[in-house]
Each structure stands twice: as C-alpha cells, then as structure tokens.
C-alpha cells in the first residue's frame, strides 16, 4: 500500500514540474488488468491507481497541450479510462447498456445513457463520453482511426491496447489498432471467394467518417487488409456485397 501511495503521489505531483503529459500510469494499469482486450474488472475495482490516473487527467488543461497528436492521445485515454471507471463503479454488470437510465431504448430517446452522463471533469469542466467522442475527437480532429482506439467496454468494440496512447507513438498505435480491428474475424469478415464483406456496425453508424458511400467505406477498410484483398476490392469494388455484423454489447469482462 505504501508503494502504491508513493507512486500515486509522485505521479500526481510530476505534472506540476513537466509540460508533457505522462500516461505511463495508465500503461501500468492496462498491463495488469487487460487480457487480450478483456478486462479483469473485479481486480481493477481494488486498484487505487485508476482513480489516481483519472485525477491526473482531470487536472490537465487540454488547451495547453502542444499539438494535435498530444491532444488526440490525451482524449482517447480520457475516453477509455473514464469508461473503465463507469464499469468498475457499477460492477458486476453484464453490459454497459445496463448503466442507461430508463434502459437502452428510452436512454437513447431521452439522452439518459451512460454516454450522456457528464461524469467526466476536465480542468473544472463537465464532459460526457459522447462529448469526448463526438464533439472533440470526431469533430475537431477528423481522424477516422480513433474509432478503433476508443473502447466502449463491449465484446464488439476494438480491443484495449496494453498501453496508453502517447503523442510520440500515436501514428503507429492508430495504424496498428486499425490493422488489428479489420483483421479480427470477430469484428469484420471478408470472403474473397464470394466477395462479401461483413463489416462492424461501427462503419455503419459512423459511415460519414470513412467515406461518402458504402464503396468508399469498403475501400477505406481495405487499406488495412492483406495486399491480395486490397487489390481485389480495388479492382472489383462494384462486385463486392457489403453487410454488417450484429454488435455484441456483452461486457468485455475477463471472466466471460
């Protein structure tokens, strides 16, 4: 306990003496509780480092971040870390959808979902997960690969990395996340023989982020596939059929 307290105090105080954002504590947390994208939420509930990291994020003034890479990395980590908080604060649950006031349907109608709850405090200002995703990451940065980095604690979401996002590694991390996501047959399927693509619903819900029509969306996805698939899709785009996989909202719980 003394060691954890020392690390926490050192981590919180270090920001006062550094102009760079240090996400190393989140990396330690992810390495300890992340099992190939599945999270040991029961164990994480007892890890005080998560609250320490959340406090650290809350004390950052995002306007003072140096560049877009640092801002994107920061906000992705905010989204993922506060999503973990939403789960551990209510665990055990079966799905993040269990956290919507009024249930999933009414929650979306009346904007009372967990994603609408302004439980995130950054530099004294309240944010919701929707604010972070739609008003900041999507609107300000126009970086479609963020969809494969933010994780909504569900089986069909992209997998959590074993590390926090950082400005210096952001390009590699986003590219790697996209490659892993599109080559994971539980998320997307590509049948070259029959030319059928079964894409994640993420590419349906946010299609405008990936292209003007379904063909452009498929071409976007193909950039992260093997060379032979890229070639076939590019040369025969009009022959490919596009469907969307059902989204599995079950919790990405290590016990499952």
State pLDDT tens for residues 45-68.
999 999 999 999 999 999 999 999
Give the C-alpha separation, 26 to 208, whole Å.
31
Where in the chain are the domains?
Answer: 2-13+21-168
* Stretch (H or E) spanning 84: helix 68-88
Predicted local distance difference test score (pLDDT) of residue 1: 53
| Encoded tokens for 15 | 């920001």
Separation of alpha carbons 44 and 57, rounded Å: 18
Question: pLDDT digits over 21-37, tens only?
Answer: 999 999 999 999 999 99
Strand partners of residue 122: 125
pLDDT at 12: 52
Residue 52 confidence (pLDDT): 99
Q: How is residue 197 annotated by DSSP?
A: E
The predicted-structure confidence for 155-195, as pLDDT tens digits, reads as follows 999 999 999 999 999 999 999 999 999 999 999 999 999 99
- Whole-angstrom CA distances from 256 to 71, 126, 184 are 34, 33, 18
Residue, of 255 and 121, whose pLDDT is higher: 121
Q: Give the per-residue pLDDT at 5.
A: 52
Q: b/e string for 222-234 if b means 16 or more Cβ within 10 A?
A: bebbeeebeebbe
Structure token digits, residue 230: 């890229």
Confidence band (pLDDT; 50, 70, 90) for 9?
Answer: low
């Amino acid at each position: 306990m003394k060691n954890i307290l020392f690390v926490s105090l050192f981590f919180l105080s270090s920001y006062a003496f550094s102009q760079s954002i240090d996400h190393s504590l989140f990396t330690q947390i992810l390495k300890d509780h992340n099992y190939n994208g599945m999270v040991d939420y029961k164990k994480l509930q007892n890890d005080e480092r998560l609250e320490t990291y959340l406090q650290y994020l809350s004390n950052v003034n995002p306007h003072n971040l140096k560049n877009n890479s640092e801002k994107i990395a920061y906000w992705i980590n905010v989204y993922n870390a506060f999503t973990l908080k939403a789960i551990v604060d209510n665990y055990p649950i079966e799905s993040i959808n269990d956290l919507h006031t009024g249930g999933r349907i009414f929650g979306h109608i009346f904007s009372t979902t967990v994603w609408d709850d302004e439980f995130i405090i950054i530099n004294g200002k309240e944010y919701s997960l929707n604010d972070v995703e739609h008003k900041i990451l999507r609107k300000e940065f126009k970086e479609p690969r963020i969809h494969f980095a933010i994780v909504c604690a569900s089986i069909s979401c992209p997998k959590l990395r074993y590390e926090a996002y950082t400005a210096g590694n952001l390009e590699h991390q986003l590219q790697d996340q996209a490659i892993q996501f599109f080559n994971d047959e539980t998320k997307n399927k590509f049948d070259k023989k029959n030319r059928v693509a079964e894409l994640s619903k993420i590419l349906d819900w946010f299609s405008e982020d990936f292209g003007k029509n379904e063909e452009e969306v498929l071409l976007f996805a193909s950039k992260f596939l093997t060379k032979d698939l890229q070639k076939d899709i590019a040369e025969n785009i009009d022959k490919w059929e596009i469907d969307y996989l059902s989204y599995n909202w079950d919790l990405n719980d290590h016990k499952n």
